[in-house]
A and B are shown apart, each in its own frame.
Chain A
Amino acid sequence: MLADAAKAQEVFHATLREAAQLAANGEAPRDRLWFFRNARWRCLEAGEQGLQAEDVDLQQHELADSAPSQIDKLQPQELAIWISGAPDPQRTALALFYLDEFNYRDLLSVTELKPPELSKLLCDGRRQFQAWLDATFPAAQT
């Protein structure tokens, strides 16, 4: 979400602190996804303070057979930067989807999206990422 480990850690601590305070007041969050919801909003807040991504229509390419080998060439940080540069709610959708910890319903719940919205954001995200991969690693290189 932030592509910045230090900021992510700050968000984690702030979320944990709030959970501890609520628990101490006997108001422990009942929602099992509370931690993720809270962390998401903190990430979005933190993201607003830094540089903002320009609102441009990114190119989209059809997913290619060669995509896995293109992705293999990336560093994890590069993918994190790419996702954190996406506008929200696409950023949230992609970050949580590729975290691979949620089922479909949980994903809809945390992202606060409707099924067609989530579907479109993921589909567009993949294609845009494929276009970026194609630009970064042209066919001759793969």
Chain B
Amino acid sequence: MSAVQLSRKEKMLMHCAPIREERVDERSLRMALHRARKTEVFAIQQNFDKAATALVQAIPIPQEITDWIPTDTFIAPTRRRWQKYAQNPAFLATGIAVLVITIIAIFQLVDRMNRFPGEPTARRLLTTASSTHAMMLDPVKTDAGALGDFLFMKHRLVHYDVPPEFAELKTLGCRVFDDEEGQRVAQVWVVEKKMQFFIFPAERDPKTGKAREFFGWRSIEQERWVGVVKEDKGVCFMATLRGSPKDLAPYVSKKKE
């Protein structure tokens, strides 16, 4: 029984062990007593203390005093402050779990809010942009705003227009290709910041066949490439470059009609 060796701290706590189990409300004390219970010394101490306490309890308390303060209300229970609860490992673990779940939920929510119809296609085209060289495109040197007519006249692509925000930029080249879903995509290379434009059909509702609309500019990011996408008349326009979202922000923030 006494094979357990108690540390100095455990011995110190053992000597202060409360007589009643319910008074052991501190973790370090509880752990020390858990080990001490395996020793004979502690059993003798407990028997000693119980006998002494029984003797103390036998001391009569005058009626006058018990009338003022009932024996069971000698000490007001400790008010547990929130810091005490926060230190409890169970509450701590639960708190961390809730925090992590909340952060994930916020990320999911933000991610969902940023989603827009045609996002998968836009992401695919970002990959295309990262692997395209200017020489792969037919040289077309004009204002980007004039490309709408060019694409309509040469490729019969209706509403493949460059929005006013990017219309004044000078183009270097252009090509039209079919993506893996057989959609006609126009790709334009611009002089400024080696920017590229993609114009492609908006995502359609499979039941009604109608283009899924969304309002304003949406931004996407992928492997250090950023893009801003806008839908108009069933066609999406995406401007993309290698950099950060703030490189494109000045273009989409200016109002042009």
A21 interface contact, C-beta 8 A: no
Contacts A63-B48, A68-B50, A115-B12 known; A100 to B18 CB distance under 8 Å? yes
Q: Which residues of B contact A103 (CB under 8 A)?
A: 18, 23-26
- Report B-chain residues with C-beta under 8 Å of the C-beta of A115: 12-13, 16
If A67-B47, A126-B45 touch, does A98 touch B16 (CB 8 Å cutoff)? no
Contact with A along B72-108 (1 / 0, CB 8 A): 0011101000000000000000000000000000000
CB of A79 within 8 Å of the partner chain? yes
Measured between alpha carbons, how far is A102 from B52 in the docked complex, in Å?
Answer: 16
Interface size range of chain B in the complex:
35 or more
Give B130-150 as 1s and 0s: 1 = Cβ < 8 Å from A's Cβ atoms: 000000000000000000000
How many Å from the CB of A82 to the closest CB on chain B? 10
Size range of the interface on A?
Answer: 35 or more
Known: A16-B68, A67-B51. Contact between A100 and B56, CB under 8 A?
Answer: yes
Interface residues of B, dominant DSSP:
helix
- The residue in chain B whose Cβ has the minimal distance to the Cβ of A32 is B76
Beyond A9-B62, A101-B75, A103-B18, is A74–B55 a contact (Cβ under 8 Å)?
A: yes
The closest CB in chain A to the CB of B44 belongs to A63
Task: Identify the interface centre among B24, B55, B58: most chain A CB within 10 Å of its CB.
Answer: B55
Which 10 residue pairs across A and B have the least CB separation, nearest first? A68-B51, A71-B51, A119-B12, A119-B15, A32-B76, A123-B15, A76-B59, A67-B48, A103-B23, A98-B56
